[in-house]
A and B are shown apart, each in its own frame.
Chain A
Amino acid sequence: MSYLYAAYIATWVIHFGYLGSLLRRYRRLKNEIEDFKVRIEEKR
């Protein structure tokens, strides 16, 4: 039974790990866009 749980947990660790990396990339991009907007506003 422990092998079964190990396999299912490993599957979701991989999937959530990837989803976490997507979320990090999205936040980084959002911060870059915000910084860019601030720079543009400062120039004006």
Chain B
Amino acid sequence: MKRVFPILAVPTAALLGYALYEALVAAPTEQTMGNVQRIFYYHVPSAWTAFILFFVNFFASIAYLIWRNTKADIVALVTAEVGVVFCSVVLVTGPIWARPVWGIWWTWDLRLTLTLVLWLIYVSYLVLRKFSSSGQTPLLAAVLAVFGALDVPLVYFSIWFFRTQHPQPVIGGGGSIDPRMLHVLLINWLAFSCFAALVCWSRYRLEILRREFDETMALEALLEPRTSHTNSSRSAG
């Protein structure tokens, strides 16, 4: 793991650096919004990455519910955690863009509200996993994740089917985008996806290590009284 991580981290960092250059320098300046539009190159890829992570969480949770597979449970935990991080980026960069463009930080618009609800659902998922000591926690979390994932398509399609203050989709849905801007957007998405995959992989390894250690500790605790009993029997004999 120690060797693989830098091998993957170096090209990912290079790609993120290149994507940053493309977003700040190479991308054309939007005519009406000016430079503040460049927030879009971080906001939209972060949202897409969060959606993908929540979908992986959904399928891993389904897999856990069907097969009770520990690895599926770990994948669900990891993707929820990293998904919350990316969703937090969306919820922070959105208002920073909205303030100069709309004149307000936040409005209880359908898209914005559903995104906030999505974030709250997955934060509650993580809180449940962290503080519940029941053996049924993975099962309860998987059920919560399955219902929580229903909010993802609602968030995504809310701007397709309802009139909202949020800008219309740039790909499909009647929206249009300059090909150079689309190029920069896709590069940033690729960079953030690679970054998310790397972070998920590191978190997955950490969780595997944590569980193996906890199992060893539990085994040791189980064996301890037996060992002392055997020793006392021997000394008594």
Contacts and interface: CB of A to CB of B under 8 A. Distances in A.
Judge: A and B partners, yes or no.
yes
Contacts of A38: none
Interface string B99-128: 110000000000000000000000000000
Interface stretch (B141-149, B162-170, B210-218): B210-218
Given A33-B213, A36-B216, A36-B217, A11 B206 contact: no
A27 B39 CA distance: 34
Contact of A3 (B42, B46, B97): B97
Contacts of A1: 35-36
B203 interface: yes
A7 B202 contact: no
Contacts of B85: 14-15, 18
A10 B206 contact: no
Contact of B203 (A4, A22, A33): A22
Interface residues of A, number: 20
Contacts of B220: 36, 40
Interface of B is mostly: helix
Contacts of A4: 24, 35-36, 38-39
A32 B189 CA distance: 38
Interface in A1-44: 1, 3-4, 6-8, 10-11, 14-15, 18-19, 22, 25-26, 29, 32-33, 36, 40
Interface string B73-115: 0000000001001001100110011011000000000000000
B82 to A, nearest CB: 8
B199 A14 contact: no
Nearest to A10: B92
Given A36-B213, A36-B217, A14 B35 contact: no
Interface of B: 20, 24, 35-36, 38-39, 42-43, 46, 82, 85, 88-89, 92-93, 96-97, 99-100, 195, 199, 202-203, 206, 209-210, 213, 216-217, 220
19 contacts: A1-B36, A3-B36, A3-B39, A3-B96, A4-B35, A4-B38, A7-B96, A10-B89, A10-B92, A10-B93, A11-B42, A11-B89, A11-B93, A14-B88, A15-B85, A15-B195, A18-B85, A18-B199, A22-B202
3 closest cross-chain pairs (CB), A and B: A7-B96, A7-B39, A7-B93
Given A7-B39, A10-B96, A29-B213, 9 more contacts: A1-B36, A4-B35, A11-B46, A11-B93, A15-B85, A15-B195, A22-B199, A36-B216, A40-B220
